[in-house]
Amino acid sequence: MQTNNQRKNGVEKYLDYDSITNRLSQHGISADAAEMHGILCGMMAGGMSITDQKWLEALSDTTNGGEPFNAATEQLLTGLFNQTGQQLLEAEFALQIVLPDDKAPINDRGMALINWVQGFMLGFGLYQQDMTRCSEDVREALQDFADIARMEEPMSDDEESERALDEVIEYVKISALLCYSELGQSLLEDQPGKPSVH
């Protein structure tokens, strides 16, 4: 039993930006870890059921030309999916956006954030086409995401830029959680066949 727990902990440890991106590119997938994570968060925030098994199909359509993933990639993505679902369901601010670590060059982190935001909007759009169902706050957040996705200016490597990037990352995280809290499904809504509690 203990080995199972250790394995579970091991899975969570290796789900960092570099290891996921490297493993995706080894399997011929051009999307990086940030984009994959963004798509998954977007799908869940857009109202996809966390027990929905069609997410793999949606990911292969959007990142792998509709080809099914091989077993190793599927396992990697399932780990990422489970971790993402768990973070969204946990208390506020548990969500960790998958980005390069702080030691990576600032422009690499900025580019990865843009990939994450583009992925989020793609995933969100797969499950939520009717923007009239969204509150003003969610619509505004998605408009801001569209603006972030278009940012092309390289950043200078100084404290001010670091602070600005940190603020944008924090804003993106809070906005993703806002979308999820408004449109995402909780596990309680997500239990097929369970008697509903009144």
For residue 22, the domain's CATH number is 1.20.120.740
Q: In the structure, what pLDDT confidence band is assigned to residue 20 with cuts at 50, 70 and 90?
A: very high
Asked if pLDDT for residue 64 goes beyond 60, the answer is yes
What is the pLDDT at residue 42? 96
pLDDT for 34-54, tens place per residue?
999 999 999 999 999 877 778
Does residue 188 fall inside a structural domain? no
Provide the angle, in degrees to the nearest 10, between the axes of the packed helices 33-45 and 71-89. 50
Q: Is residue 189 part of a domain?
A: no
Q: Per the structure, how many domains does the chain have? A: 1
In a domain, 194, yes or no: no
Q: What is the pLDDT of residue 53?
A: 79
Question: In this structure, which amino acid lies at residue 94?
Answer: A
103 pLDDT above the threshold of 80: yes
Which tokens in the block code for residue 131?
A: 């923007």
Q: What is the predicted pLDDT for the residue at 152?
A: 83
- Stated pTM of the model: 0.86
pLDDT, mean over the chain? 85
Distance CA 160, CA 169 (A): 14
Residues whose CB is less than 8 angstroms from the CB of residue 117 and which lie 6 or more positions away in sequence, other chains included:
38, 145, 148, 149, 172
The residue segments making up the domain with residue 121 are 2-183
- Where would I find the H helices in the chain? 2-14, 17-26, 33-45, 55-63, 71-89, 106-127, 136-149, 159-183
Q: Report the phi/psi class of residue 101: left, alpha or beta, with left for phi > 0 and alpha for psi in -120 to 50.
A: beta
Is 35 within the bounds of a domain?
Answer: yes
In a domain, 197, yes or no: no
- Per-residue pLDDT tens over the stretch 143-182: 999 999 998 888 898 999 999 999 999 999 999 999 999 9
139 pLDDT higher than 80? yes
Higher pLDDT, 171 or 184: 171
pLDDT at residue 159 in the model = 92
Rounded Cα distance between 136 and 142, Å, is 10
